Amino acid sequence: MSEPNALSQSSVSSQLATSSILAPTRPFYWSVRRELWEYRSVYLAPLIATAVFLLGFLVSMPMLPHHRHGLSASPATQQLQPFLRPYEVLEGLLMVVGMIVGVVYCLDALHGERRDRSILFWKSMPVSDLATVLSKAAIPLVVLPAIVVGLSIVTHFVMLLVSSFVLAGSGLPVAPLWSEVSFVHNSFGLFYHLLTVHVLWHAPFYCWFLLISAWTRRAPFLWAFLPPITIAILEKAIFNTEHFWNYLMYRLAGGMEAMSTGAHSTLLGGHLTPLRFFSTPGLWGGLLFAAACLYAAARLRHYRDPI
Protein backbone atom coordinates (compact mmCIF):
# COMPACT_ATOMS: atom_id res chain seq x y z
CA MET A 1 0.00 0.00 0.00
CA SER A 2 1.37 3.38 -0.97
CA GLU A 3 2.08 6.00 1.66
CA PRO A 4 -0.58 8.52 0.43
CA ASN A 5 -3.27 5.82 0.54
CA ALA A 6 -2.19 4.78 4.02
CA LEU A 7 -2.35 8.38 5.21
CA SER A 8 -5.78 8.94 3.68
CA GLN A 9 -7.16 5.76 5.23
CA SER A 10 -5.73 6.67 8.65
CA SER A 11 -7.27 10.14 8.44
CA VAL A 12 -10.64 8.65 7.48
CA SER A 13 -10.45 6.17 10.35
CA SER A 14 -9.53 8.93 12.79
CA GLN A 15 -12.48 11.03 11.60
CA LEU A 16 -14.81 8.06 12.01
CA ALA A 17 -13.45 7.46 15.51
CA THR A 18 -13.96 11.13 16.40
CA SER A 19 -17.49 11.14 15.00
CA SER A 20 -18.30 7.98 16.97
CA ILE A 21 -17.13 9.71 20.14
CA LEU A 22 -19.07 12.90 19.48
CA ALA A 23 -22.19 11.12 18.17
CA PRO A 24 -23.75 10.38 21.59
CA THR A 25 -23.57 14.05 22.57
CA ARG A 26 -25.10 15.44 19.38
CA PRO A 27 -28.66 14.17 20.06
CA PHE A 28 -28.47 15.69 23.52
CA TYR A 29 -27.19 19.01 22.12
CA TRP A 30 -29.95 19.22 19.53
CA SER A 31 -32.53 18.18 22.11
CA VAL A 32 -31.53 21.14 24.27
CA ARG A 33 -31.73 23.44 21.26
CA ARG A 34 -35.16 22.06 20.48
CA GLU A 35 -36.33 22.97 23.97
CA LEU A 36 -35.14 26.53 23.49
CA TRP A 37 -36.93 26.74 20.14
CA GLU A 38 -40.20 25.48 21.61
CA TYR A 39 -40.04 27.32 24.97
CA ARG A 40 -38.86 30.82 24.14
CA SER A 41 -40.00 32.02 27.57
CA VAL A 42 -36.85 30.38 28.96
CA TYR A 43 -34.81 33.34 27.72
CA LEU A 44 -37.52 35.89 26.94
CA ALA A 45 -38.82 36.11 30.52
CA PRO A 46 -35.41 36.97 32.06
CA LEU A 47 -34.75 39.40 29.20
CA ILE A 48 -38.06 41.20 29.73
CA ALA A 49 -37.53 41.33 33.49
CA THR A 50 -34.04 42.76 32.98
CA ALA A 51 -35.30 45.36 30.49
CA VAL A 52 -38.06 46.52 32.86
CA PHE A 53 -35.63 46.76 35.77
CA LEU A 54 -33.06 48.62 33.68
CA LEU A 55 -35.74 51.09 32.55
CA GLY A 56 -36.66 51.78 36.17
CA PHE A 57 -32.99 52.18 37.04
CA LEU A 58 -32.49 54.74 34.26
CA VAL A 59 -35.56 56.68 35.38
CA SER A 60 -34.15 56.88 38.92
CA MET A 61 -30.74 58.10 37.77
CA PRO A 62 -31.47 61.87 38.10
CA MET A 63 -31.91 61.36 41.87
CA LEU A 64 -28.57 59.59 42.29
CA PRO A 65 -26.42 62.69 43.02
CA HIS A 66 -28.98 63.95 45.55
CA HIS A 67 -28.73 60.71 47.50
CA ARG A 68 -24.94 60.98 47.51
CA HIS A 69 -25.04 64.59 48.71
CA GLY A 70 -27.52 63.68 51.42
CA LEU A 71 -25.13 61.04 52.79
CA SER A 72 -21.96 63.12 52.46
CA ALA A 73 -21.52 63.25 56.24
CA SER A 74 -21.97 59.48 56.66
CA PRO A 75 -19.21 56.86 56.54
CA ALA A 76 -18.08 55.70 53.09
CA THR A 77 -19.80 52.32 53.39
CA GLN A 78 -23.15 53.96 54.17
CA GLN A 79 -22.72 56.43 51.33
CA LEU A 80 -22.48 53.56 48.87
CA GLN A 81 -25.50 51.63 50.14
CA PRO A 82 -28.11 53.43 47.94
CA PHE A 83 -25.94 52.75 44.89
CA LEU A 84 -25.25 49.09 45.69
CA ARG A 85 -28.85 48.17 46.50
CA PRO A 86 -30.04 48.12 42.83
CA TYR A 87 -27.35 45.57 41.99
CA GLU A 88 -28.61 43.27 44.74
CA VAL A 89 -32.24 43.80 43.68
CA LEU A 90 -31.37 42.86 40.11
CA GLU A 91 -29.71 39.63 41.21
CA GLY A 92 -32.69 38.70 43.38
CA LEU A 93 -35.16 39.56 40.62
CA LEU A 94 -33.37 37.43 38.03
CA MET A 95 -33.06 34.48 40.41
CA VAL A 96 -36.79 34.60 41.26
CA VAL A 97 -37.74 34.89 37.60
CA GLY A 98 -35.42 32.00 36.77
CA MET A 99 -37.03 29.83 39.47
CA ILE A 100 -40.56 30.60 38.28
CA VAL A 101 -39.68 29.93 34.65
CA GLY A 102 -37.93 26.69 35.65
CA VAL A 103 -40.95 25.40 37.61
CA VAL A 104 -43.43 26.27 34.86
CA TYR A 105 -41.19 24.74 32.21
CA CYS A 106 -40.63 21.47 34.09
CA LEU A 107 -44.34 20.94 34.72
CA ASP A 108 -45.13 21.35 31.03
CA ALA A 109 -42.01 19.83 29.44
CA LEU A 110 -43.14 16.19 29.30
CA HIS A 111 -46.88 16.75 29.75
CA GLY A 112 -47.09 19.22 26.87
CA GLU A 113 -45.63 16.88 24.26
CA ARG A 114 -48.23 14.26 25.18
CA ARG A 115 -51.01 16.83 25.16
CA ASP A 116 -50.25 18.12 21.65
CA ARG A 117 -49.29 14.58 20.49
CA SER A 118 -45.88 15.74 19.29
CA ILE A 119 -44.42 12.89 21.35
CA LEU A 120 -45.29 10.55 18.46
CA PHE A 121 -42.94 12.48 16.20
CA TRP A 122 -40.14 12.90 18.73
CA LYS A 123 -40.20 9.21 19.62
CA SER A 124 -39.51 8.42 15.99
CA MET A 125 -36.22 10.33 16.26
CA PRO A 126 -33.02 8.43 17.19
CA VAL A 127 -32.93 9.95 20.68
CA SER A 128 -33.40 7.85 23.79
CA ASP A 129 -35.98 8.71 26.42
CA LEU A 130 -33.24 9.23 28.99
CA ALA A 131 -31.40 11.69 26.73
CA THR A 132 -34.65 13.56 26.14
CA VAL A 133 -35.41 13.81 29.86
CA LEU A 134 -31.84 14.88 30.65
CA SER A 135 -32.03 17.58 27.98
CA LYS A 136 -35.21 18.89 29.57
CA ALA A 137 -33.60 18.81 33.02
CA ALA A 138 -30.66 20.80 31.61
CA ILE A 139 -32.95 23.79 30.98
CA PRO A 140 -33.60 24.71 34.66
CA LEU A 141 -30.30 23.28 35.93
CA VAL A 142 -27.85 24.59 33.31
CA VAL A 143 -29.37 26.93 30.74
CA LEU A 144 -31.40 29.18 33.04
CA PRO A 145 -28.54 29.72 35.54
CA ALA A 146 -26.22 30.57 32.63
CA ILE A 147 -28.76 33.08 31.30
CA VAL A 148 -29.14 34.66 34.75
CA VAL A 149 -25.38 35.01 35.22
CA GLY A 150 -24.86 36.43 31.73
CA LEU A 151 -27.69 38.96 32.02
CA SER A 152 -26.54 39.97 35.50
CA ILE A 153 -22.96 40.65 34.34
CA VAL A 154 -24.02 42.66 31.28
CA THR A 155 -26.65 44.64 33.18
CA HIS A 156 -24.27 45.36 36.06
CA PHE A 157 -21.78 46.78 33.60
CA VAL A 158 -24.41 49.00 31.98
CA MET A 159 -25.65 50.20 35.37
CA LEU A 160 -22.10 50.95 36.50
CA LEU A 161 -21.36 52.97 33.37
CA VAL A 162 -24.57 54.98 33.69
CA SER A 163 -23.98 55.63 37.40
CA SER A 164 -20.42 56.74 36.68
CA PHE A 165 -21.52 59.23 34.02
CA VAL A 166 -24.18 60.68 36.30
CA LEU A 167 -21.81 60.99 39.27
CA ALA A 168 -18.99 62.44 37.16
CA GLY A 169 -21.39 64.96 35.63
CA SER A 170 -22.36 66.10 39.12
CA GLY A 171 -18.74 66.53 40.22
CA LEU A 172 -18.79 63.50 42.52
CA PRO A 173 -16.03 60.82 42.64
CA VAL A 174 -16.76 57.51 40.93
CA ALA A 175 -13.71 55.55 42.10
CA PRO A 176 -15.37 54.29 45.34
CA LEU A 177 -18.27 52.86 43.34
CA TRP A 178 -15.96 51.05 40.91
CA SER A 179 -13.88 49.66 43.76
CA GLU A 180 -16.96 48.32 45.55
CA VAL A 181 -18.70 46.85 42.49
CA SER A 182 -16.14 44.22 41.49
CA PHE A 183 -17.23 42.18 38.49
CA VAL A 184 -14.99 39.26 39.43
CA HIS A 185 -16.33 39.13 42.99
CA ASN A 186 -19.95 39.69 41.97
CA SER A 187 -19.88 37.20 39.11
CA PHE A 188 -18.23 34.50 41.20
CA GLY A 189 -20.62 35.09 44.11
CA LEU A 190 -23.67 34.89 41.85
CA PHE A 191 -22.32 31.81 40.05
CA TYR A 192 -21.60 30.10 43.38
CA HIS A 193 -25.08 30.89 44.67
CA LEU A 194 -26.78 29.60 41.52
CA LEU A 195 -24.62 26.45 41.42
CA THR A 196 -25.12 25.53 45.06
CA VAL A 197 -28.73 26.60 45.62
CA HIS A 198 -30.58 26.81 42.32
CA VAL A 199 -28.82 23.85 40.70
CA LEU A 200 -27.64 21.36 43.32
CA TRP A 201 -29.87 22.13 46.29
CA HIS A 202 -33.08 22.71 44.30
CA ALA A 203 -32.47 19.89 41.81
CA PRO A 204 -34.92 17.54 43.63
CA PHE A 205 -37.74 20.05 43.11
CA TYR A 206 -37.13 20.42 39.38
CA CYS A 207 -36.72 16.67 38.86
CA TRP A 208 -39.87 15.99 40.88
CA PHE A 209 -41.78 18.40 38.64
CA LEU A 210 -40.44 16.60 35.55
CA LEU A 211 -41.58 13.27 37.00
CA ILE A 212 -45.07 14.66 37.61
CA SER A 213 -45.09 16.10 34.09
CA ALA A 214 -44.30 12.64 32.68
CA TRP A 215 -46.85 10.85 34.86
CA THR A 216 -50.02 12.90 35.10
CA ARG A 217 -52.65 13.12 32.39
CA ARG A 218 -54.02 16.46 33.50
CA ALA A 219 -53.49 19.27 36.03
CA PRO A 220 -49.71 18.84 36.54
CA PHE A 221 -49.58 21.90 38.80
CA LEU A 222 -52.14 20.36 41.13
CA TRP A 223 -50.43 16.97 41.28
CA ALA A 224 -47.03 18.56 41.82
CA PHE A 225 -48.02 20.42 44.98
CA LEU A 226 -50.94 18.38 46.34
CA PRO A 227 -49.00 15.29 47.59
CA PRO A 228 -46.43 17.18 49.73
CA ILE A 229 -49.11 19.47 51.14
CA THR A 230 -51.32 16.46 51.93
CA ILE A 231 -48.44 14.67 53.69
CA ALA A 232 -47.72 17.76 55.78
CA ILE A 233 -51.39 18.12 56.75
CA LEU A 234 -51.72 14.44 57.68
CA GLU A 235 -48.55 14.56 59.78
CA LYS A 236 -49.86 17.59 61.63
CA ALA A 237 -53.29 16.02 62.15
CA ILE A 238 -52.05 12.58 63.26
CA PHE A 239 -48.76 13.24 65.06
CA ASN A 240 -49.08 16.99 65.75
CA THR A 241 -45.61 17.50 64.28
CA GLU A 242 -44.31 19.50 61.32
CA HIS A 243 -41.10 17.69 60.43
CA PHE A 244 -41.97 17.16 56.76
CA TRP A 245 -43.16 20.73 56.26
CA ASN A 246 -40.11 22.15 58.02
CA TYR A 247 -37.85 20.04 55.82
CA LEU A 248 -39.59 21.32 52.69
CA MET A 249 -39.15 24.91 53.85
CA TYR A 250 -35.52 24.22 54.71
CA ARG A 251 -35.00 22.73 51.27
CA LEU A 252 -36.82 25.58 49.57
CA ALA A 253 -34.82 28.19 51.49
CA GLY A 254 -31.69 26.82 49.88
CA GLY A 255 -29.84 25.56 52.94
CA MET A 256 -28.28 28.97 53.47
CA GLU A 257 -26.50 27.98 56.66
CA ALA A 258 -24.67 25.28 54.73
CA MET A 259 -23.93 27.45 51.71
CA SER A 260 -22.36 30.45 53.43
CA THR A 261 -21.97 32.33 56.66
CA GLY A 262 -22.77 35.97 57.03
CA ALA A 263 -24.89 38.01 54.67
CA HIS A 264 -27.02 36.33 52.05
CA SER A 265 -26.22 38.88 49.37
CA THR A 266 -24.02 37.61 46.57
CA LEU A 267 -22.83 41.15 46.02
CA LEU A 268 -21.72 42.04 49.52
CA GLY A 269 -21.68 38.62 50.51
CA GLY A 270 -20.81 36.47 53.43
CA HIS A 271 -17.97 34.00 53.67
CA LEU A 272 -18.42 31.19 51.19
CA THR A 273 -18.03 27.73 52.68
CA PRO A 274 -18.02 25.23 49.80
CA LEU A 275 -16.51 22.40 51.86
CA ARG A 276 -19.27 22.76 54.41
CA PHE A 277 -21.91 22.80 51.71
CA PHE A 278 -20.63 19.77 49.81
CA SER A 279 -20.31 17.78 53.02
CA THR A 280 -23.99 18.31 53.90
CA PRO A 281 -25.80 14.92 53.91
CA GLY A 282 -29.01 16.54 52.71
CA LEU A 283 -27.31 17.62 49.50
CA TRP A 284 -26.36 14.11 48.40
CA GLY A 285 -29.65 12.61 49.53
CA GLY A 286 -31.47 15.20 47.45
CA LEU A 287 -29.29 14.49 44.42
CA LEU A 288 -30.02 10.76 44.71
CA PHE A 289 -33.73 11.57 44.85
CA ALA A 290 -33.34 13.83 41.79
CA ALA A 291 -31.56 11.04 39.85
CA ALA A 292 -34.33 8.59 40.75
CA CYS A 293 -36.97 11.06 39.55
CA LEU A 294 -35.18 11.54 36.23
CA TYR A 295 -34.86 7.80 35.69
CA ALA A 296 -38.53 7.26 36.54
CA ALA A 297 -39.54 10.12 34.22
CA ALA A 298 -37.58 8.52 31.36
CA ARG A 299 -39.27 5.16 31.96
CA LEU A 300 -42.70 6.77 32.10
CA ARG A 301 -42.06 8.66 28.86
CA HIS A 302 -41.22 5.39 27.16
CA TYR A 303 -44.58 3.81 28.05
CA ARG A 304 -46.90 6.81 28.17
CA ASP A 305 -49.27 7.41 25.26
CA PRO A 306 -50.51 10.80 24.02
CA ILE A 307 -53.32 12.33 26.04
Q: What is the pLDDT of residues 271-285, one digit of tens each?
A: 556 777 888 888 899
Question: Between 144-169 and 183-193, two packed helices, what is the crossing angle to 10 degrees?
Answer: 150
The model carries a pTM of 0.80
pLDDT value for 24: 61
- The answer, yes or no, to whether residue 6 has pLDDT greater than 50, is no
Highest mean pLDDT range out of 116-130, 164-178, 223-237? 223-237
Rounded percentage of the chain residues whose pLDDT exceeds 90? 38
What is the band of 179 on the pLDDT scale with cuts at 50, 70, 90? Answer: low
CA–CA distance, 182 with 267 (Å, rounded to integer): 9
pLDDT class for 263, splitting at 50, 70, 90?
Answer: very low
The rounded Cα 12 to chain-centroid distance in angstroms is 41
Domain boundaries, the chain: 26-303
Helices 76-115 & 203-215 angle (0-180, nearest 10): 20
Determine the average pLDDT of the residues in 245-249: 90
Strands of the chain, DSSP E: 260-261, 271-272
What is the predicted pLDDT for the residue at 165? 79
Residues 42-61 pLDDT 10s: 999 999 999 999 998 888 87
- Among 114-118, 142-146, 157-161, 275-279, name the one with the lowest average pLDDT: 275-279
pLDDT band at 17 (very low <50, low <70, confident <90, very high): very low
- Contact partners, residue 76, CB within 8 Å, separation at least 6: 176
Task: Check residues 307 and 286 and name the one with the higher pLDDT.
Answer: 286
Mean pLDDT score of the chain, rounded to an integer?
A: 79
> What backbone phi and psi angles, to 5 degrees, belong to 23?
-55, -45
Confidence of residue 223 (pLDDT cuts 50, 70, 90): very high
| Cβ atoms of residues 244 and 225 within 8 Å | no
Q: Which ranges of 39-143 would DSSP assign to H, the alpha helix? A: 41-60, 64-70, 76-115, 119-123, 129-138
Confidence of residue 206 (pLDDT cuts 50, 70, 90): very high
Say if residue 10's pLDDT is above 60: no
Stronger pLDDT, 89 or 73, i.e. the higher one: 89
Cα distances (angstroms) measured from residue 42 to each of 50, 77, 140: 13, 37, 9
Exposed, middle or buried, 225 (CB in 10 Å: 0-12/13-18/19+)?
A: middle
